[in-house]
Every structure is written in structure tokens, then in C-alpha cells.
Amino acid sequence: MATSLSLSQAISARTSSSHHQSSLSHHLPSSLSLSSLSLLKSSSFSLKTSQRVVAPCATIRASSAVDSLDKSASTEVTLIEKSVNTIRFLAIDAVEKANSGHPGLPMGCAPMGHVLYDEVMRYNPKNPYWFNRDRFVLSAGHGCMLQYALLHLAGYDSVTEEDLKNFRQWESRTPGHPENFETPGVEVTTGPLGQGIANAVGLALAEKHLAARFNKPGAEIVDHYTYAIVGDGCQMEGVSQEACSLAGHWGLGKLIAFYDDNHISIDGNTDIAFTEDVDKRFEALGWHVIWVKNGNTGYDEIRAAIREAKAVTDKPTLIKVTTTIGYGSPNKANSYSVHGSALGAKEVEATRSNLGWPHEPFHVSEDVKKHWSRHTPEGAALEAEWNAKFAEYERKYKDEAAELKSIITGELPSGWENALPTYTTESPADATRNLSQQCLNALAKVLPGFLGGSADLASSNMTLLKMFGNFQKDTPEERNLRFGVREHAMGSICNGIAHHSPGFIPYCATFFVFTDYMRASIRMAALSQAGVIFVMTHDSIGLGEDGPTHQPIEHLASFRAMPNVLMLRPADGTETAGAYKVAALKRKTPAILALSRQKLPQLAGTSVEGVEKGGYVISDNSKANKPDVILMGTGSELEIAAKAADELRKEGKAVRVVSFVSWELFDAQPDSYKESVLPSDVTARVSIEAGSTFGWLKYVGSKGKAIGIDRFGASAPAGKIYKEFGITKEAVVEAAKSLS
């Protein structure tokens, strides 16, 4: 079978539906020019630098970069205006029917949305997951009807007219904020403001990294842009500042963000809280900044800004587009009342009259349909041409093609797990953070999409990949990501990397307690099914003298409460290797590894296979599945449980020791397996963990005991803290005796 077909089939097999974007005025480099199509090099899309402040243009004409149907290179202004008003009213009508939503942003941003999806971006509507597509992120996700209207017009099967009519309804493919797992064509899930632009930084980083690794002279197999629309709210959120600082530092030249500068947020005019000079801030962050003064009707201004942005290749670009929120609404435009609620029947009719739109709800005229319909054949041609180029690339660069294909499809190399280190009870005691570094470096050798870094703690988290250098502006092929002290953006950027291609396995690291600074990005990873590995060291009171500010007491419980997260707390080297195996395989579930600072022994009975089941027996001297008592532990406390069992056995007790490295994995096992580990008729159960006892009741039962810490920690040597808080062998023995 031809390589291009097998690659496309592999991608399709690993995605539940198809996903995103088309051709048009986006400049096509020589390596991706379509030999079978004519490339229209109209003056409105020639690449040359224009002024930073783009003045209004008198003529309004659009061009198409790919013209497989031999159409005219330009479209009359009346059709463009009709297309833009179609976008506006699809949003208005959907919000009105749902009586819920945010019509103001789509009404104001329709012109820039039209230019992007109809003229600039390269995508294939019938295969939204085509690898070399341009990516689009609506960071101001409350305005999602803008994106749904654009996907509908562009021909995506995921957003039909019926889907528009079901906006914000149960099991709809048009939910209230863009969700990648619900709507093919949506790249990332944006809800909390600022997350989307941080995700876009991750997407752009991924493109730059892959291009540096795999492109060859005359064979630029990786070449696409990342576009984002951000609002005033995104600009105010701290995560966007963190992420955009990194984007400027890294010189992500193919990241182009449109700032919807409408000066309105939910509480009113942004002057009440937001008066900074955004342009100067982004210039200070290392971005190229352009101002489009007329975002309402200045189509040529928008085109010229994109043209200029593409000419700047060494830094990301912010295009500030001044718009009127709710444009066209005679009574609510430029007010907070159009931000987050339906216009109302009377205002909808007034807006129809004002914009000359005498059509029924959800109307799309035949000429607009015909105009947008070209994206289907053009997108298919773009993908076919790229597949042919990849087939040629594979013939010339077999090894590189195999690595890239693994990243594109998510198919991991055969036998990759054999690279993980193995340990025995004779192996020296070590902190699991150090054992983690051994696993990270082993995986980096065999997993092409494995990369990551730390929030300025690599030497303490032990996360440096020793065989690679640092990903920097001029060395983007390297795999160590230096995030600086930016935990929140770090998580969101890694989410974007994970969403770029199925075979990317990004990891990021900090101290476990600092997940408080990145909880939103971890939650978004879980919600959007981004398989990021969160490497969290200094996992308990064992870090000692740093004190309660750095001792994560409640964090294990909090992440166990979060859906679609694997919370893993390994006890030794074998369990650490097992945790990495599980995390690497779970591409739609993020994993958090809580790792110790203090040295731990290599325990008898631990196993990779046991970790895969979440909870398992590491030692047992009982018969017929009837121990006198069951002792349970995680991480550094599993050793304490094992020592307590030895003491109890000396007194003739039948004791079972269970490692609960992951509650989530254990809960997913069949009832028969769970009964074999925790027989229901054995009620004498004791758990021990250096953290909150919250949640342990479901395992120890009402007649068992949970030993833990239900207050903040303290500053003292680790051994002293463990003793003072009763996290000891003696406490476990006493509890077990009281139960049996």
C-alpha cells in the first residue's frame, strides 16, 4: 500500500472523527506548492512588509491561494459582506434559539474570522486531523459560535445546520465553549480565559520543533501556522502573560495572535480595570505588533496585517484588531449587554434591518454556499499533495520519516517499554525523583515525541534529558524545555504540544505543592484528553525543613477527586518505571507522578504489572484469601507498611501488604480482581500515607483506620516530622492490633 495512504489511514484509525482547516491566501512554500493546481499570487497576498499601523483600505477584495476550479482571483465585496453577515447571523440565531451564549464577539470578529478561514488558512474539512494543517485557537472561547459558524461554512461534517440549532444543548457538538473532544475542527478546549493562547504557544512550539528536526533542503515536510483570537479577558489573565513571554523568548515566528480589541468585558468598559498599553507590553515580550484600526469592515487592513506578520519570521506577531462588540446591533453594540446574553427578539429584528439581512434564522444563501464549497476539493488536494511529498520524503529519509510518522500517528515504536530500567532488592536505595530521571532519559532514547522540562527546577526535579540540549530560539530541534518560573503556562503549553500530534508525549515538572499554580491547566488536560505527564517531586512532609508552604498535604486527595487524571505515587524504582509505562501509554489521560525527595529502598514484591493494576499485593502470609489484617500504603509509606507487617508476622499474624500506587487504575479493575486484593469479609484494614486521609474510607471501610496528616505540615528534619505526625511503623502496628 502506498505510504501516503497508510499514513492517512493510521491517523484516521487513531481519531474518532475528522478535523480542521484549508488552503487559501496562506503563503505556500515551494516544498508544499501544488503541482496539479495553479497558485494564485495576487497582490493582496504577496509577502512584503507593510506599515505597523495598517490604515483603512478603499477596496475590499479577497483572493484565493489555491484555485483548482479555475475561479477568479478575487471575490466581489458584496459577496464578502454577505459571507461575513452570514457568520454574524448564524451566531445571533444560535444564541437566540438557545437563549444562552455570547453573540457580541462573533458579530465583531466575523471579518477576521472570514479572512482566516476563507482566505488564509490551509486545512482539509473532510479530514480535520490532516497533519500539516494550520491550527486555529479561539482563546476567547465564550465566542465559540464564531468558530462553529466558520466550521459549518467551510464544510466540516462536525458542524451541520442541525448542530448550530442545537447550540449549548445536551450532547450537542456545539457546546458552550470549544471542546476538541466533542467537535472535530476544534484543536484545543478553551474555557478559562488565557488557556487558549497558552495552548497556541504549545502548538507553535511543536511546529517549530518538528520543522527543525525533520525538514530537509527542498523537503519542508513540516510547515504550518498557528493562529489564535484572544480577547481583553485573555490579556488580563496571568497565564497569557507567562505563555506569551515564553513565545517571544523562543521566537515562535509562525504564531499569529489576533487581539479582539473591543474594550468590553462582562462588567462593562475595560477602563474600569484594564488601562495598560498592550502593544508596548507585547513589544517588551519580544513580539511583533501590528494595529488594525478598522476591524469591522477593514478586510484589506486585516489581509495586510497577516501579510506583514508572515514576513516576520523570527518572532510571534500580535495583530491588535479594534472591533465593535456586537457590531450591527443598533442598541446593544459596544456594550456589555451584548457580551454574554442573547440579543432578544426585538433587537435581533433591529439588527437584521440595520445590516440589511431579511432572511429567516440560520439562512445561508446559495452563492455563499458555493463560494465556501471550494474548500472541500482544495483541502483534499492539499492533503494529497502533502501525502505524496511525505512518500518521497520517506524514500529519501527512511529513519527520519519513521520517527515523524510515530509522532503523527501516535504509534509507539515496537518494544519501547523494554528501554525502561529494571531494579532488584539489591539495587541501592534512592529517591524516586532520581529514579524518575533514569526513566525519563531511557524513554527519550526510544520515544520520538518525548520532550519536556521543568519550571526552573530541573536540577531539583531531576528532569534533564542528558543526551539533548535546550529548546531555544536558535536550537528548536532540542528537547529540554526551559519554562522558567511559570508553572501555569508550563502546563497549558504542554497541553498544546500534546494536542498537536498524537505521538507527542510532553512532560513538565515542579514541586508537587506548586500544582496549586497550575491546577487549571491540569484540569484542562484532563478535560480535553491531553496525555501530559506531570512530574511532581517533593511529594510529602519528607522534604523536611522547607516547611508547610512546600509540603503538599491535601494534593493527593484533590487530584484523586479530579476526573480523567491518573494520580500515581510510586514507592521504588520498579514502581516508578511502571508509572512511566502507564503514563506513556495513556495518551488521552494526563498522569501525575508524585515523587520523593528522600531515599527509599527497592522493595520486595513490587512490579510493573502491579502498577498497571493500580493496587496489588506485594507480600502476604495468609491463606485462602483471608488475612487477619490488610495494610495499605503508597510511595514512601509503603516501606513503613512492609516493616509493620514484618513486626506483626513475628506475633503470628497473617498480614497482607497492598501497594495503592494509583486509585484510579485499581478502581478500573474487574470486581473479581478487587475482591482478590481486598476481600470484602476482611474488615481489619489500615492505610498509611503522608497526606490527607480524605478518601481512604472507601478502601479501609468503616471499621478500618487511616493514618495520615489532616493539618498543615511543619519545618523540621524529615525524620522528626514523620515521628511527630505519627507516620511510623509503630503507629501502623498499634492500629492493626486494635482492629484484630
Determine if residue 395 is labeled as part of a ligand binding site. Answer: no
The Cα–Cα gap between 679 and 239 comes to 47
Q: Is 303 annotated as a binding residue?
A: no
Q: Is 708 annotated as a binding residue?
A: no
Residues 6+ apart with CB under 8 A from 23: 64, 65, 66, 121, 122, 123, 375, 378, 379, 381, 382
Residue 102 annotated as binding? yes
184 assigned ligand-binding residue:
no
Instruction: Please indicate if the annotation marks 546 as binding a ligand.
Output: yes
Give the H or E element holding residue 437: helix 432-446
DSSP 3-state of 52: coil
Name the burial class of residue 446, with classes exposed (0-12), middle (13-18) and buried (19+) by CB atoms within 10 angstroms of its CB. middle
Alpha-carbon gap, residue 342 to 280, rounded angstroms: 35
Residue 383, CA distances (Å) to 17, 300, 378, 488, 665 in order: 16, 28, 9, 35, 39
Q: Residue 264 annotated as binding?
A: yes
Q: Which of the 8 DSSP states describes residue 55?
A: P
Grid coordinates standing for 557? 486527595
Confirm or deny that 142 is annotated as ligand binding: yes
Is residue 289 helix, strand or coil? strand
Tell whether 262 is in a known binding site.
Answer: yes
DSSP run (H or E) holding 519 = helix 519-528
Q: What are phi and psi of 466, to 5 degrees?
A: -70, -25
User: What is the distance between the alpha carbons of residues 258 and 262, in angstroms, rounded to a whole number?
Assistant: 12
Q: Is 209 marked as binding a ligand? A: no
67 has binding-site annotation: no
Residue 538 assigned ligand-binding role = yes
- Give me the active site residues, please: 487
Going by C-alpha positions, the residue among 492, 469, 476 that lies closest to residue 205 is: 476
**E strand map for 169-211:** none
Q: How far apart are CA 532 and CA 42, in angstroms?
A: 42
Determine whether the annotation assigns residue 615 to a binding site.
no
- With a CB cutoff of 8 Å and minimum separation 6, the contacts of 329 are 107, 338, 343, 347, 350, 351, 354
What is the C-alpha to C-alpha distance for residues 88 and 328, in angstroms, rounded to an integer?
Answer: 9
Binding-site residues for Mg(2+), in ranges, read: 232, 262, 264
Binding-site residues for thiamine diphosphate, in ranges, read: 142, 191-193, 233, 262, 339, 514
Binding-site residues, in ranges, read: 102, 142, 191-193, 232-233, 262, 264, 339, 433, 460, 514, 538, 546, 550, 597
